[in-house]
Amino acid sequence: MDSVLKGIEIYKRNSWSQERAQQELTIVNKLLGIIVYNLNINEVFKDLVNELRKAVNVDWAGIVLIRGKVAHFYALSSKIGSAWKAGDTVSLKGTSIAWIAANKKVLVEPDLAQKREFRSDESHLKRGLRSIVYLPLSVKTEVFGVLTIASTRPNAYGEQELALLEHLCTQIAGVVRAAQLYEVEVEERLKLEKEKGERLQFINALAHELKTPLTSIVASGGLLLEELKEEAQSPRVRLIENVIRATDTLEARLSELLDMAKMESLGFKMVLELLDIRPLLQNMFNGFLPVANKKRQSLTLDIPPSVPIVKADKQRLEQILLNMLTNAFKFTGEGGRIQIRLRITSTEIVVEIEDDGPGITKEEQERIFTPYYRIETDRQRFPGLGLGLTLSKQMVERHGGKMWVKSELGKGSIFAFALPIAEHEE
Ligand code: ADP
């Protein structure tokens, strides 16, 4: 882009005739158009050459790029047919392209009928071409391709034509380079997408594979517990309860993995409804009270008497709250304090879960919302995959809301999310 703008500057400073300057400006504009709208040079090369014809004699034009030991025909435009087409490759050795790459300068063959330098000259002459100019396309000092312009007229390229062509070449070099980088980028992207797809497929298959036997363990565990109920004090009851708890955790982790894979490939499926979030919070609160009692933690719920309706997927909201509360209880020690609060702003409802647990540093706060990230010190001590917050944040965002954390190391954390208040619907 820079080189094109620089080119326009040079045109402005140049003392060439008005008309020629105008023509050249049109060509440069065309080039600018190529950069902005289409990086596929091959598609616009014909237009470009047509534009060029207003100033220079052109019957055959091509851009050839050097790729290792081969010359690759990148773009072609011809009035007289061509021995090659875009996409063809030929060995570089002994070609005009190799000569230009080695000598890094423009080469003119004024009349092929008189003198022929390269192996391709013969076929050019056979097609009626008489004069050819080869112009290096380079970035810094490296020649990465050649622009070839040819005419059926001998001596078609004088000083003026060459000046214009050389100038044009600087622009084309910039555009082609940008296009090449873009192509590499697209290729890389596609490769990554493919890898990601395969990874997701693998996670999906693995999680499903593990879920099937797990379901039967859970079912059998439940039945066994029923049978052992009479022996309330038996160590066997405690053992089977341990098994059930562990399989529950395993199931939850697998569901997170499946959710993550699903979300990355398809996005979440959401069933939106107009929802009063209060009963949901109340249920969560009731459900977590026994957990709080067990760890001698205090749990409070603070919601205003009337709360505006939100448009939300109830199950997803439950998942988000469950994750935030599980974390709060998991990371806060015995005797800690956990508060569930809801406040209302002019446009949103904000749910906050505050704990007086270990807190999180500023740097970690940025990372904990990325997939599979878990704080180093927690990795050994607590179970988890590091997916809960990632999923929660994405789910909140799918609702048009946002999620964040405020925390100070040693003092505790407030995890919060905001959801837009639903428009009043009749
Ligand atoms: P998981 O809990 O499965 O590890 P999450 O994505 O829910 O995954 O959380 C990521 C990490 O963020 C946790 O491993 C933990 O290090 C940190 N974290 C989350 N919630 C809290 C909290 N309330 N207090 C302190 N650290 C937390």
Instruction: Please give the single-letter amino acid code of residue 72.
Output: H
Nearest CA to ligand 1 atom 11: 374
* pLDDT averaged per 10 residues in sequence order, the chain, 426 residues: 51 56 68 57 76 87 90 88 85 92 94 92 92 92 92 93 85 77 80 82 82 86 84 79 86 82 72 93 91 91 95 92 92 94 96 96 92 79 81 92 96 97 70
In sequence order, what DSSP letters do the residues of 107-126 get, joined into one string? EEES-TTT---SHHHHHHHH
Q: Which two tokens stand for residue 235?
A: 């160590």
CB 164 within 8 A of CB 149: no
Q: For residue 80, which phi and psi values (nearest 5 degrees)?
A: -125, 20
Q: Which two tokens stand for residue 118?
A: 């390269």
Q: Which residues line ligand 1 (CB under 6 A)?
A: 323, 327-328, 331, 355, 357-358, 360, 368, 374-375, 378, 384-390, 413
Q: Which two tokens stand for residue 130?
A: 């008489």
Cα 359 to Cα 340: distance, rounded to the nearest angstrom? 17
Q: According to the model, what pLDDT value does residue 206 have?
A: 83
H/E element, 337: strand 337-344
Cα 1 to Cα 174: distance, rounded to the nearest angstrom? 7
Task: State the distance from the centre of ligand 1 to the C-alpha of 132, rounded, in angstroms.
Answer: 69
Q: According to the model, what pLDDT value does residue 338 have?
A: 97
Nearest CA to ligand 1 atom 13: 374
Give the CA count within 13 Å in the CB-facing half-sphere of 310.
Answer: 25
Which is the closest atom of ligand 1 to the Cα of 390? 6
CB 256 within 8 A of CB 391: yes
Nearest CA to ligand 1 atom 12: 368
Q: According to the model, what pLDDT value does residue 177 have?
A: 78
Nearest to 146 by CA among 134, 155, 154, 156: 134
CB 310 within 8 A of CB 420: yes
Task: State the distance from the centre of ligand 1 to the C-alpha of 365, rounded, in angstroms.
Answer: 10
Coil, strand or helix: which one is 104? Answer: coil
Q: To 10 degrees, what angle do helices 18-37 and 2-13 make?
A: 170
Cα 219 to Cα 287: distance, rounded to the nearest angstrom? 23
